[in-house]
Homo-oligomer: A and B are copies of this chain.
C-alpha cells in the first residue's frame, strides 16, 4: 500500500530545508530576529532564487524589505520535517561502525534517539546505555514502541535479509550504511550513506 506524501516536495528540497533550518538555528542562537533571503541563501550555499522557490512550499511567507522571521521560519520547517519531538530510532548491526554510531551523541542533539540496538550476537556491544537485543526480539520491540526508523550497519552479506525483517516489522525509513542497493517496497524509504564511496569520490577528483 503506497501512502501519498502530504506535500509534493522533492527529496533534494527536503535536504535543503534541513540546511536552512541549521542556518536559522545558528541565527537564533546569535539572537538575530530576521534574515534576508540573500543572507540565508549565502549561509546555506544556494542561490537566493533557489531559497525563495523552496520556501514557496510554505505559501506566502516573509515581508518585503523585512526578510524572514528567524524563529517563525525555523518552526515551520521543523513542523514540516516532523522533528518537533525526539524521534525513536533503532540501530541494527553492532559491529565496528554500529558501535561507533552508538557512541556518537550527535543524533540526540538533532532530535533522534537510538532507543535500542539489535545484533545476532547481542553480547558484543558495550558502548551504549540503551538495550542491546537479539534479532528475534526486533519485531515485537518495533511494534510495541511504534518505531518507524532504523539505522542499518550490518555487513553487506546480511543487509538485504535484515532489511526484509525490518520491513516486515513495520520500519518505513532506513538509513543504510551497507554498500548495497536494498530492495524495498514502494512505501519504504532508504537513504544510503557510504563513507568509503565518499572518500573514493574525493580520491578521483584530487588526482593531479
Seen from chain A, the residues whose Cβ lies within 8 Å of a Cβ on chain B are: 3, 5-6, 9, 11, 14-15, 18-19, 22, 26, 43-45, 80-83, 87, 89, 96-97, 99-101, 103-107, 109-112, 148-149, 151, 156, 172-175, 179-181, 189, 191, 193-208
Contact = CB atoms under 8 A, between A and B. Distances in A.
Contacts of A43: 181
Q: What are the nearest 9 A-B pairs in CB distance? A: A45-B181, A100-B100, A110-B196, A173-B202, A173-B206, A189-B205, A18-B197, A172-B206, A82-B207
Given A5-B205, A206-B149, A199 B175 contact: yes
Contacts of A96: 103-106
Given A14-B200, A189-B205, A191-B198, 4 more contacts: A22-B179, A81-B204, A87-B203, A173-B205
Contact of A204 (B22, B82, B112, B156): B82
B22 A107 contact: no
Given A82-B207, A106-B196, A148-B206, A201 B97 contact: no
B104 A15 contact: no
Nearest to A107: B196
Given A100-B101, A106-B195, A181-B45, A149 B15 contact: no
Contact of A200 (B110, B156, B194): B110
Tallying the copies of this chain within the complex gives 2
Contact of A19 (B11, B172, B179): B179
B198 A195 contact: no
Nearest to A148: B206
A203 B149 contact: yes
A175 B201 CA distance: 10
12 contacts: A19-B197, A43-B181, A44-B181, A83-B203, A100-B103, A106-B195, A112-B203, A149-B206, A173-B205, A189-B202, A189-B205, A193-B198
